[in-house]
Amino acid sequence: MTDPTSPDPADWPTGRLLFSVVRQIEHEWNDHLAGWELNHAGFPVLLHLLGTPHTQRELADLNGVTEQTMSKVVARLERSGYVTRSTDPADRRRRTVVVTDAGRAAALEAADRRPAEDLATRGLDEQQTHDLREILLTMLRAQETHRSPSAQD
């Protein structure tokens, strides 16, 4: 039996355990990304833009957020000099987002796998890390299959 009000994490439901771990990692990851004026919302946007420019709508879809939220994320990246936005000549309502040289450099430096892996797998041995990765992939695929449109943001 689980008790979500217990001070002992061993008594918590699985969801609360997962959210607590994710939140701790998110805080530390944001601390890591702050060195480049990035956060957990803007960083994946830069990674998507390393491959090719995208519209804000495409970026919102790729990141599972609303267009309104993506507009705020892109505005922050633009203020940092990491992206530029331009009007699509074929459709003036569309804005294309392009990574700048500074944004490319920041994304590649911040993407150093070591800090991210250390945060996510601290205290785990190689087999536990492998098992965790498999569980997370299974969970992610299951969530994507059953995701509701209102689950964005």
Instruction: Show the domain range for 104.
Output: 9-151
* Domain CATH code at residue 131: 1.10.10.10
38 has pLDDT over 90? yes
17 has pLDDT over 80? yes
Instruction: Count the domains in the chain.
Output: 1
Q: What is the pLDDT of residues 54-70, one digit of tens each?
A: 999 999 999 999 999 99
Q: What is the pLDDT of residues 78-94, one digit of tens each?
A: 999 999 999 877 788 88
Please give the share of the chain, as a percent, with pLDDT higher than 70.
Answer: 92
115 has pLDDT over 80? no
Q: Is residue 2 part of a domain?
A: no
Whether pTM exceeds 0.85: no
Which tokens hold the place of 153? 């943001």
Q: Is residue 3 part of a domain?
A: no
